[in-house]
């Protein structure tokens, strides 16, 4: 059942709506990485340990990822514009609270609230794009959306470093206040009110999906911190991962049995391109973590600062941003397996090149060549996978589909971070002492992502129809 709203005028400045949505999308993704450069300062000024300080980032990412399956459905029920604006308001107010927090406990609590606001916003961005852009322009719009995601991923450490030194750690949160207010006003005017669908809430599905997402997200994200062992008392990382897998199995079983309003309609995964696109986006998100071994190599083996190392990543984001919009315009002209496979293949080749090139004496220009190629491939891959996946969604499932898509992206990112961290530890354990051995271990760890991309290539090769 649908409730009427102002009809969607597909000619009424959908690009203005896209800009308003991408401003908020950039902010919430940026806040997942911007705090990393401030961790040493937080340890010193708040007088806490490393294990406590990392929760400033972990709490945000968990609160962001766990409710995604639910918040996507909220957009279908109440309208993506309303949910997006509510999330932006919560995120902005929580940012101010983070900026004035007087203790680590208060800071972590407000980061949880920040993450909940971000979780409300994220699925609505893709949902609105899917519904306001026609098939002929959706690819280009998803290209911009994907470029914003890529730019946000590497901009966090750079912007964090620029703000931290002159203004202190509180500035990385307080900067969200003026930007958040401006984004709310802009989105209120630019984003259209879309028809809503009177879904009933699947309460068992809500509980099971939230519990499963928490167990899996916490297990993957915090596994390296606890050495993949005991967390507290009988609770262990392997136990949480097994519990999460079991809860997901029960959740999927109940969803497939079908009620009147399942949280994730089984029809989503009967759409071949959506299911395969979900696998590909999880892999792409995991591969964004290639920056971790690269930055460790740049700092430890080439002697660069954190800010300088982050700047070495910037060409990838810039090139991705340039390539994404035109790549989006060509998505409908090629078979999905061809264009997405081309992007994934280029990313894989760039990481393979870096794995070979990384050494203490490698010329900077050679490294930057591979970084630029990485951005080129990412621009094609993110744009094509996002456009193909969103094109498989009917309007009444746009919110639910966007929630699943973003949940896959979030879990993929966590899995990539944990996976490459484990590979780095394993390679360092057998690497010779000195910069050459350390650099070799960092290069070898990039092969983990090459293997992941091979999985994504297999998935996208099975895509059959063109989007739109």
The DSSP code sequence of 144-188 is: HHHHHHHHHHHHHHHHHHHHHHHH-TTHHHHTHHHHHHHHHHHHH
Q: Which of 116, 92, 120, 239 is nearest to 180 (CA)?
A: 92
3-state secondary structure of 231: strand
Domain covering 9-201+263-461, topology: Growth Hormone; Chain: A; (1.20.1250)
Q: Which of 35, 41, 96 is nearest to 60 (CA)?
A: 35
pLDDT at 362: 92
Q: Which tokens hold the place of 79? A: 């309208």
Residue 463 makes CB contacts below 8 A (sequence gap 6+) with 272, 273, 276, 277, 335, 336, 337, 340, 388
By the 8 A CB rule, do 215 and 207 touch? no
For the beta carbon of residue 185, count every other beta carbon within 10 angstroms: 11
Which stretches of the chain drop beneath a pLDDT of 50? 1-12, 466-468
Encoded tokens for 220: 């993957």
Burial letters 297-332, b for 16+ CB under 10 A, else e: bbeebbebebeebbbbbebbbbbbbebbbebbbbbb
**Enclosing H/E stretch for 143:** helix 135-167
pTM (two decimals): 0.80
Domain boundaries, the chain: 9-201+263-461, 202-262
Question: To 5 degrees, how large is the angle CA 226–CA 228–CA 231?
Answer: 45
**Which tokens in the block code for residue 325?**
């919009």
What is the pLDDT, as a whole number, of residue 2?
A: 46
d(CA 444, CA 102): 42
Separation CA 290–CA 447 (nearest Å): 10
- Closest by Cα among 118, 165, 128, 125 to 146: 125
CA distance 424 to 416: 12
> Is-contact 83 362, C-beta < 8 A?
no
């Amino acid at each position: 059942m649908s409730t009427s709203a102002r009809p969607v005028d597909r000619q009424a400045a959908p690009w203005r709506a896209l800009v308003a949505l991408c401003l908020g999308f950039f902010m919430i993704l940026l806040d997942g990485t911007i705090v990393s450069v401030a961790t040493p300062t937080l340890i010193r000024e708040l007088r806490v340990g490393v294990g406590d300080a990392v929760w400033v980032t972990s709490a945000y990412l968990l609160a962001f990822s766990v409710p995604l399956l639910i918040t996507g459905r909220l957009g279908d029920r109440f309208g993506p514009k309303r949910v997006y604006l509510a999330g932006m308001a919560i995120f902005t107010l929580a940012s101010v609270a983070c900026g004035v927090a007087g203790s680590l406990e208060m800071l972590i609590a407000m980061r949880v609230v920040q993450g909940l606001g971000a979780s409300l916003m994220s699925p609505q961005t893709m949902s609105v794009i899917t519904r306001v852009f026609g098939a002929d322009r959706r690819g280009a719009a998803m290209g911009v959306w994907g470029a914003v995601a890529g730019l946000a991923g590497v901009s966090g450490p750079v912007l964090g470093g620029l703000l931290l030194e002159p203004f202190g750690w509180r500035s990385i949160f307080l900067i969200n206040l003026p930007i958040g207010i401006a984004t709310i006003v802009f989105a209120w005017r630019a984003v259209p009110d879309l028809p809503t669908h009177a879904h009933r809430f699947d309460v068992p599905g809500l509980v099971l999906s939230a519990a499963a997402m928490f167990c899996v997200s916490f297990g993957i994200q915090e596994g390296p911190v606890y050495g993949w062992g005991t967390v507290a008392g009988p609770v262990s990382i392997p136990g949480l991962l097994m519990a999460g897998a079991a809860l997901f199995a029960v959740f999927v079983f109940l969803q497939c049995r079908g009620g009147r309003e399942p949280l994730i309609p089984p029809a989503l995964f009967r759409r071949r391109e959506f299911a395969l696109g979900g696998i590909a986006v999880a892999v792409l998100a995991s591969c964004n973590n290639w920056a971790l071994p690269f930055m460790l190599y740049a700092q430890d083996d080439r002697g660069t600062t954190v800010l300088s190392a982050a700047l070495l990543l910037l060409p990838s984001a810039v090139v991705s941003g340039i390539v994404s919009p035109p790549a989006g315009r060509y998505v409908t002209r090629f078979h999905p397996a061809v264009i997405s496979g081309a992007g994934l293949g280029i990313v894989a080749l760039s990481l393979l090149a870096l794995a070979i090139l990384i050494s203490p004496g490698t010329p900077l220009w050679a490294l930057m060549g591979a970084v630029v190629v990485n951005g080129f491939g990412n621009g094609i891959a993110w744009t094509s996978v996002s456009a193909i996946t969103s094109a498989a969604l009917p309007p009444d499932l746009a919110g639910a589909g966007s929630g699943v898509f973003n949940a896959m992206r979030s879990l993929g990112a966590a899995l990539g971070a944990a996976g490459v961290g484990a590979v780095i530890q394993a390679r360092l354990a057998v690497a010779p002492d000195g910069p050459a051995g350390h650099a070799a271990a960092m290069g070898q760890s990039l092969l983990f992502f090459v293997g992941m991309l091979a999985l994504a290539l297999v998935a996208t090769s099975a895509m059959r129809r063109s989007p739109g």
